[in-house]
Amino acid sequence: MAVKSVTFFASHECDARLSIKVINLEGSNSLLKQSQKYTEPELSKRASNVIPNSDMFASLQIYDKESGRDLTIPICTKYVPFKNGRVWEQWLTLPVKIHQLNMSSMLRIKLWEFNGDTKILFGLMETPLFRSEDSTLKRGKEVFKFIKDSSEYASPYNDEHIKLINDYDTGELKTSQWLNSPVLEALQEKLNKGKLPIGTFKFTIEHAVTQIPIVYTSSEVANPQINIPTFHNLERSDINETSGKTETEIKISLGNSHDSTLFFYDPDQYNTDLVEEKFRRLERSSRETDIEKYIKPDAKKRDLLNAIIASPPGTKLNGHEKGLIWKYRYYLSNNKKALTKLLQSTNLSEESEIKEVLDLMDIWAEIDLDDTIELLGSQYTNLSVRSYAVNRLRKASDKELELYLLQLVQSVCFECTSTLSDKSSSEFTIVDIDRSKNEQDHLEGNSGAISDTSQFLADTFDKNSIMISPLAEFLIRRAIKNFRLGNFFYWFLRSESERNTFLVHILESFRSRLSERSSKIIDDQITLVDMLHQFCEEIKQSKETTAKKQELLLHLISSRMKPLFRNKSITLPLDPDVIAVDVIPSSCKVFKSSLSPLKITFLTTKGTQYSLMFKVGDDLIQDQLVVQIIKLMDQLLKNENVDLKLTPYNILATGKNEGAIEFIPNETMSSILSVHHGILKYLQKTYPSETEVDGVEPWVMDNFVKSCAGYCVITYILGVGDRHLDNLLIQPDGKFFHADFGYILGYDPKPFPPLMKLPPQIIEAFGGTDSANYDKFRSYCFVAYSILRRNAGLIINLFELMKTSDVPNIKMDPDGAVLKVIEKFAFDLSEEDATIHFQNLITSSVNALIPLVIDHLHNLAQYWRV
């Protein structure tokens, strides 16, 4: 008889964390009548009594039903502004691993809403994590029905339609390709068909769907609480063994000569020391401010204070350092670099401390922009602190704002979540997107007079009103005044809004306040980008040869894009200073690649040509970030009168997996070496000189040496990886630059990547290591590295703001990404030692052998691919 095999995964071997998706809440509640708001004011404070889709959040927690013990702390959903329904669509990862669960593990869900300034329970639910029928970890969707304010825990109800959908998702059902879509649509329609009674709600979650089921399997796990190694329980363990009794679950060994390390569970390891916390509170509650105003440190403490202040942004201060900063806070008020350290040393949840610090901030020396950027990070949730930073940001020029705009938009992403519940939320601007501009200005001007935000929301907040934070409001106003800034603000917001849905409201507010002319320009840009997206999709889906795809592109441009420019010009979103009046089909092409990116060439109002590459299927957010940082570094160098002839070409992500790249005429080093057999020969052909020893115009060689030095330093700091001869490019005028930043911050697909990519062909073009050009190259490197080290705080703070972004190489390890950037600046070295450190890097890169082998292997792979 044939044996039927079953594939499953044992739960005690599964080291993955438990993840639950919170999907949505359906149902409605009877709203208070207008008269009831006055007769029963307490009820009107409860948001769900006055707003159909009031703010709400869910908390998830795992507990053991048998022992009644909580296994995790509650994990809450992020803030989502509901518009047409309460939809979260958020995955929550609970702090427990699957192998730590047992059959009695339960998921407890609580829905919370706001009742004035406090939260109140809206619904209670619980469900086992393992199915009792077959002991498998639950997979797929689960739905709960409950009555509002019920004190009993609601259990999931069985619905045959949901069961069928889950069986389909987990592969339990036999499927038919042509039937799948209509059947699923019919099932979903039946699920949504039934109307819930008033006061009854339906809450939906989803358990992670694994390819194979996870079956509960028990394994004896020692209780760490009762096995703390002491000589007492060691002796008792030996005694019990001899008597046949067992007091503890495991026997603790003192180890052996090879491994004498003991590991044990310390429940207080990450908790605050209560004695130190009590001391801190007592110390800071003694308000001897008159004495403290005149206290000055001695020489030793002054040096220690200077070392603390000079530490890199994001450095965590210990208790002693925080106490020292607090003690000499009045002395430090003239030091603009000390404010961020004072805020780190302050408990912003203590009302007395934050009040004193806010008073101090009014008299503090004006901080620089790099510290302003730090105050807009996710660690500073107090709205008064963020408003202080915004006020300082008002003094920045539009050019400076453009350099930081990508990070400022990222700061807006988590600003609503972190500050909307702040008691000082009256500083938010309430905007009605349907009102006229004059009415909006009047509303903005009086927004600060709202004293009770919750009552205001209950009385006047409707579906067309949105709350704008101080930073978002500031950016909107500056973006309206300067269209170049507004152009990038719109496209950054639009791209990010696909990941953070609440940004749509800010986008709507911005669009509603634009002038008719500016709004028309944005509409034309959207039309152009949508058309390019369609072209890419149609060409990519074509299975024809590249030549046939080229014919299709020319047909699409002639029939659909050419008519777009009749009696109209379009401002290009990639560079708003460029206005296109026509498209040039003969200069357009399809690149030979799996994504079939397009090169589109436009005729501008100045009579020149402007080319860009548009691609769909590749997320350009990481490339966009790197080019933005290169632009910033280029400006920082130019501020010190150091122009290294960099080429920070434009990149704009217009969506999650699409975007445009400025096309700059260039040759790859690979093609230069294969055709001209050397970089110097290539430069001699493009700009020859009979008077110079190297046979190249001096300004061209100057461009080459300076640009090589600039990119050498920048790519080292950013940890750019996957460098090969096909993404190292040279322009005809000698300017060298990098492209394709798919790997940064130390990530590299190749083994043993060098810290600095410096091919020997470049050194050969200089004239060798004994040449004057090589000496110039090293000098430019040292100067650039020194200048960027002095501005390291700004660069690090910009990366800090990107920790919550979806940049792939940052998202994998946000804290580690920032630490890698900090490491490259070598803060522990003096100026002289840092120069020697960089000199050693150059020397080791010039003499490196492995990169040469990798380049040859890459060329061989490219040959066989062709």
Catalogue the long-range contacts made by 677-686 (C-beta closer than 8 Å, 24 or more residues apart): 678/761, 678/764, 678/765, 679/704, 679/730, 679/761, 679/762, 679/764, 679/765, 680/764, 680/765, 682/730, 683/734, 683/765, 686/732, 686/733, 686/734
The CATH code of the domain at 275-366 is 1.25.40.70
Please say if the pLDDT value at position 276 is more than 80. Answer: no
> Domain residue spans in the chain?
9-215, 275-366, 667-864
pLDDT at 187: 63
Predicted local distance difference test score (pLDDT) of residue 865? 42
Any alpha helices (H) in 328-396, and if so which ranges?
339-344, 351-363, 369-375, 383-393
> How many residues would you count in the chain?
866
Q: What confidence tier does 54 reach under pLDDT thresholds 50, 70, 90?
A: confident
Per mean pLDDT, which range of 181-185, 299-303, 385-389, 651-655 is the poorest? 181-185
**Per-residue pLDDT for 16 more than 90?**
no
Q: What per-residue confidence (pLDDT) applies to 791?
A: 93
* Distance from C-alpha of 299 to C-alpha of 308, rounded to nearest angstrom: 14
Mean pLDDT of 570-583: 94
Global pTM? 0.66
Mean pLDDT computed over 320-338: 88
pLDDT score for 178? 54
For residue 362, what are its two tokens?
A: 């009014």
In this prediction, residue 22 has a pLDDT band, given cuts at 50, 70 and 90, of very high
Which CATH superfamily is 667-864 part of? Phosphatidylinositol 3-/4-kinase, catalytic domain (1.10.1070.11)
Beta strand extents in 116-209 (DSSP E only): 118-128, 140-147, 200-207
- Average pLDDT on 477-500 reads 90
For 298-325, the pLDDT digits (tens) are 899 899 999 999 888 888 888 888 888 8
Fold of 9-215: Immunoglobulin-like (2.60.40)
Please tell me the predicted confidence (pLDDT) of residue 161.
61
Q: List phi, psi (to 5°) of 40.
A: -130, 70
179 pLDDT more than 60? no
Task: Give just the sign of the alpha carbon dihedral 778, 779, 783, 786.
Answer: positive
Number of alpha helices (DSSP H) and beta strands (DSSP E) in the chain: 32, 22
Distances (CA, A) of 313 to 338, 541, 544, 787, 792: 11, 48, 53, 17, 9
Query: Taking 90 as the threshold, does the pLDDT of residue 52 lie above it?
Result: no
The answer to whether the CB of 626 falls within 8 A of the CB of 718 is: yes
Please, what sign has the CA dihedral across residues 628, 630, 633, 635?
A: negative
For residues 682 and 701, is the Cβ–Cβ distance under 8 A?
Answer: no
Q: What is the pLDDT of residues 825-852, one digit of tens each?
A: 999 899 999 999 999 988 888 775 444 4
What pLDDT is stored for residue 456 in this prediction? 38
pLDDT for 645 beyond 80: yes
pLDDT of residue 162: 64
Structure confidence at residue 245 as a pLDDT band (50, 70, 90): very low
pLDDT for res 653:
93
Position 425 pLDDT exceeds 50: no
Continuous segment of H or E residues that includes residue 818: helix 814-824
Distance from C-alpha of 831 to C-alpha of 789, rounded to nearest angstrom: 9
